[in-house]
Amino acid sequence: MRIALFVTCLADTLFPEAARATVRLLERLGHQVAFPEEQTCCGQMHVNTGYPDDALRLVRRHVRAFAPYDVVVAPSGSCVGSVRHQHAMVARRAGDERLAGRAEEVARHTYELSELLVDVLGVTDVGAYYPHRVTYHPTCHSLRMLRVGDRPLRLLREVRGLDLVELPQAEQCCGFGGTFAVKNADTSTAMLADKMRHVLATRADVCTAGDASCLMHIGGGLSRLRAGVRTVHLAEILASTEAGRSGDPTGRTTEGVAR
Amino acid sequence: MTETFLGLPATAPPGVGHLRGDEPFPVAARRALADPQLRRNLRHATGTIRAKSSAVISEVPDWPELRAAGRAIKSDTMARLPELLEQLEAAVTAAGGTVHWATDAVEANRIVTDLVRATGADRVMKVKSMATQEIGLNEALEAAGIEPVETDLAELIVQLGRDRPSHILVPAIHRNRAEIREVFLREMPGVDPALTDEPAALAAAARRHLRATFLSTKVAVSGANFAVAETGTLAVVESEGNGRMCLTLPETLITVMGIEKVIPTWDDLGVFLQLLPRASTGERMNPYTSMWTGVTPGDGPQQVHLVLLDNGRSAVLADEVGRQVLHCIRCSACLNVCPVYERTGGHAYGSVYPGPIGAVLSPQLTGVADNASLPYASSLCGACFDACPVMIDIPSVLVHLRARHVAERRAAHRMPSAEAVAMAAAAYTMDHPRLYAAAQRAAGLGRIAGRALPPPLNGWTASRDMPAAPPQTFRQWWSERRRDDRP
């Protein structure tokens, strides 16, 4: 199958390993990945911060970039949520019904990674090997906007060597929320503190999720505490094999933190 | 004289009632977050209600259909609100009640104060009511020399403690039983000095204190959970029996009700009386459901008044996206599941309507400028939308109100805000892939290490490291890889 990668601006810029892992994983499963280079950002930050008018040009660009493809995948529940639940709204606000219709069409073919694997490609055992103790944080937009349910867990349970431990109060928000983390930094930090407490209680080595944004938040907190727990995107775990990340000498995970 | 309507309906006036806080949410939240007793009390209380509520909701096989029915009835109601209110007025009047229309808090307070004065009473007893808290009725009555006595236990704790309610359903949720015992010992006349903090002992003390009030007070003030347009029936649901006392014993009963509380038919009550207790207190059925239709000669209050309160609600109705907030049945399920509310408590929201529903209701009632920080007091996690028994899409309304705030700020100031400039620049850059790629590279080269970003981004690095910039972006890797792949 030919699958277009919607990389997301965050993964493109700060967490390219999550996107590279998505490419490696899909190619290993026998699919062809395309990367429409005119894509940039879905505009979610603009919409959620109160700037839907500024987001309009980004929605238009996104629709133009992905309209030609039958299947689009993103390593992010949040950005897929924006495409599904915000793009048409942004277009309609601006009175562009035609764009809204096209945005809805693109949204119908856009999947979060675990949705694509389980629902479209019909696979839960992707042949991955990851010998670590891992806990999974279901990000709010994956959980409540997309309803990915247990798809990520079904994928993780099939990973050889992986010791999956349940995260207490997993469904509670980590406190990221985009600009919320800056505008309400104290409340965001209080939410993060509880999330980190639960992650540490699992005694996992790795905390994984389907969104680089939430992992940046949780990982940024764990790193500040020198807690010794890494955050790794779900795609990176699923892309890992016994052979390691061969062919990817620049391999760098979402755990990487500035010193 | 003819009147011509110009412009949008009025919002709730400033200087009266409790819809506006003294400080922005982040400032108030910061103080609340530093209070370990508050954090502990809220975590315990919201956790308990959450567990109870989800257990009884899971028993109902048609819960999704019930929610959809609740939403449909409310949507229908809002679409023909004027007609239903007039039908309600006619039905209440025909049953011997008197209906008053109040444009705002000032008018409602004046109407109620005048009605109490006309009875000659200098004391009223109150059933817990959000509408009267919203308009600051207690303060208005006190200013007129009339003593209001709250009879709901939690509301009594708040009143005796000269405190403010912090939750729609459980106004003293921020207090634990040790703190409540202290309030009673300090403020309750004639209290037993040996009072313990056992819940039964505290309830018994309140009961003794209130019983005298119930038997001797001639006027009661209530809110209403529902008003049935076709029959003129008002309904109050409560758990302690204090409402039943107030609604049946006095000579005069005055009900202050937001205009959105009307429902079309008696049958519609069946939907909401299933939704409300399970979503709100986590009970299968509401303990005390009192309904009255005007005056019944020789039985119960012989003077029955209904004050229909707008106070900004027509302005909410005028907003196509925001009007769904008027569907709210004040169950407080959204507060109990909100990770922000659980950590900051209700006072941080400034308004009597805290939590997610408050963050979308208060700014609409007052105008967004007067509660500008509230639409941002959410991580948009969506737990509130899932919990809402009438399916109010709170995250979408929050985002909509942020856009309204930005647009109003833009219209009010000649100079765009720094944030607006940054957002426009970001959108422009992201709409030009070459600029975008250059900006990505600049971010990589000029990476400031993870400890301290400049304002306003220092809120991030106060508690979180920034990720290091990767050696290459994804698109750089992609284009190199494609070049390498070429034969």
Q: Are residues B120 and B243 in the same domain?
A: yes
Please determine, for residue B452, whether its predicted confidence score (pLDDT) is greater than 80: no
CA distances from B89 to A232, B259, B315 (A): 62, 11, 21
Q: Given this model, what pLDDT does residue A255 score?
A: 44
Q: What is the mean pLDDT of residues B271-296?
A: 97
B378 DSSP 8-state letter: -
Nearest-CA neighbor of A45 among A14, A105, A13, A86?
A86
* Cross-chain CB nearest to B464 (options A20, A180, A220): A220
Q: Given this model, what pLDDT does residue B487 score?
A: 56
* Cross-chain CB nearest to A14 (options B379, B464, B467): B467
Q: Are residues B298 and B430 in the same domain?
A: no
Q: Which of B272, B292, B320 is the last residue of a domain?
A: B320
Q: Is residue A234 within a helix (H) or strand (E), and if so which, with residue range?
A: helix A234-239
At B12, the amino acid letter reads A
Cross-chain residue pair A57–B427, CB shorter than 8 Å: yes
Cross-chain residue pair A177–B378, CB shorter than 8 Å: yes
**Chain B interface includes A20 (CB < 8 A):** yes
Chain B residues closer than 8 Å to A183 by CB? 26, 376, 459
Nearest-neighbour CA in chain A from B392: distance (Å): 14
**pLDDT confidence band for B430 (50 / 70 / 90):** very high
Chain B residues closer than 8 Å to A187 by CB? 26, 29, 33, 340, 343-344, 377
Cross-chain residue pair A46–B427, CB shorter than 8 Å: yes
Chosen for mutation from B360, B379, B386, B477 (greatest number of chain A CBs closer than 10 Å) is B379
Chain B residues closer than 8 Å to A223 by CB? 450, 464-465
Q: Which of B320, B335, B361 is the last residue of a domain?
A: B320
Closest-CA residue of chain B to A144:
B382
**Chain B interface includes A88 (CB < 8 A):** no
Which residues are registered as beta bridge partners of B228? B233, B263
Q: What is the mean pLDDT of residues B359-373?
A: 98
Question: Total structural domains in chain B?
Answer: 2
Closest-CA residue of chain A to B419:
A49
What is the distance between the alpha carbons of residues B73 and A26, in angstroms, rounded to a whole number? 47
Chain A residues closer than 8 Å to B440 by CB? 12-13
Is residue B371 within 8 A of residue B336, CB to CB? The reply is: no
What is the distance between the alpha carbons of residues A215 and A231, in angstroms, rounded to a whole number? 6
Cross-chain residue pair A37–B475, CB shorter than 8 Å: yes
Q: Given this model, what pLDDT does residue B446 score?
A: 54
Cross-chain residue pair A191–B339, CB shorter than 8 Å: yes
CA distances from A205 to A157, A209, A256, B175 (A): 16, 14, 15, 39
Q: Which of B299, B320, B341 is the last residue of a domain?
A: B320
Instruction: Name the residue with higher pLDDT: B1 or A240.
Output: A240
**Domains of chain A, each with CATH number or no CATH:** 2-120 (no CATH), 133-239 (3.40.50)
**pLDDT confidence band for B462 (50 / 70 / 90):** confident
Tokens of A204: 């996992």
Chosen for mutation from B463, B472, B481, B482 (greatest number of chain A CBs closer than 10 Å) is B463
Count H helices and E strands in chain B, helices first.
22, 10
Q: Is residue A191 within a helix (H) or strand (E), and if so which, with residue range?
A: helix A185-201
Residue B449 within a domain? yes
What is the distance between the alpha carbons of residues B346 and B63, in angstroms, rounded to a whole number? 28
**pLDDT confidence band for B17 (50 / 70 / 90):** very high
Q: Are residues B449 and B304 in the same domain?
A: no
Nearest-CA neighbor of B327 among B73, B52, B43, B49?
B73
CA atoms within 13 A on the CB side of B436: 23
Which residues are registered as beta bridge partners of A112? A74
Is residue B438 within 8 A of residue A192, CB to CB? The reply is: no
**Chain B interface includes A177 (CB < 8 A):** yes
Residue B73 within a domain? no
Nearest-neighbour CA in chain B from A129: distance (Å): 24
**pLDDT confidence band for A97 (50 / 70 / 90):** very high
Residue B439 within a domain? yes
- Per the structure, the complete domain to which residue B436 belongs is given by 418-485
Q: Given this model, what pLDDT does residue B444 score?
A: 66
* Cross-chain CB nearest to A50 (options B30, B403, B426): B403
Cross-chain residue pair B383–A144, CB shorter than 8 Å: yes
Q: Given this model, what pLDDT does residue B441 score?
A: 81
Chosen for mutation from B465, B477, B483 (greatest number of chain A CBs closer than 10 Å) is B465
Q: Are residues B313 and B443 in the same domain?
A: no
Q: What is the pLDDT of residues A37-56, one digit of tens each?
A: 999 999 999 999 999 999 99
Q: Is residue B286 within a helix (H) or strand (E), and if so which, with residue range?
A: none
Q: What is the ipTM of this complex?
A: 0.94
Is residue A5 within 8 A of residue B475, CB to CB? The reply is: no
Q: Are residues B128 and B254 in the same domain?
A: yes
At B137, the amino acid letter reads L
Please determine, for residue B447, whether its predicted confidence score (pLDDT) is greater than 80: no
Cross-chain residue pair A144–B26, CB shorter than 8 Å: no
Residue B201 within a domain? no
Q: Are residues B316 and B437 in the same domain?
A: no
Closest-CA residue of chain B to A41:
B430
What is the distance between the alpha carbons of residues B112 and B98, in angstroms, rounded to a whole number? 12
Q: Given this model, what pLDDT does residue A259 score?
A: 31
Chosen for mutation from A7, A90, A186 (greatest number of chain B CBs closer than 10 Å) is A186
**Chain B interface includes A54 (CB < 8 A):** yes
Tokens of A137: 């944080």
Closest-CA residue of chain A to B409:
A50
Cross-chain residue pair A221–B463, CB shorter than 8 Å: yes
Cross-chain residue pair B30–A186, CB shorter than 8 Å: yes
Residue B13 within a domain? no
Mean pLDDT, all residues of chain B: 94
Q: Which of residues 91 through 110 in chain A touch B, CB cutoff 8 A?
A: none
Residue B48 within a domain? no
Cross-chain residue pair B29–A51, CB shorter than 8 Å: no
CB pairs A-B closer than 8 Å:
213
Please determine, for residue B244, whether its predicted confidence score (pLDDT) is greater than 50: yes
Q: What is the pLDDT of residues A152-184, one digit of tens each?
A: 999 999 999 999 999 999 999 999 999 999 999
Residue B358 within a domain? no
Closest-CA residue of chain B to A178:
B379
**Which CATH number belongs to the domain containing residue B89 in this structure?**
3.40.50.10420
Alpha-helix residue ranges (DSSP H) falling in B303-347: 313-317, 333-337, 339-344
B120 DSSP 8-state letter: T
Residue B376 within a domain? no
Least confident of B7-16, B202-211, B341-350: B7-16
Q: Is residue B152 within a helix (H) or strand (E), and if so which, with residue range?
A: none
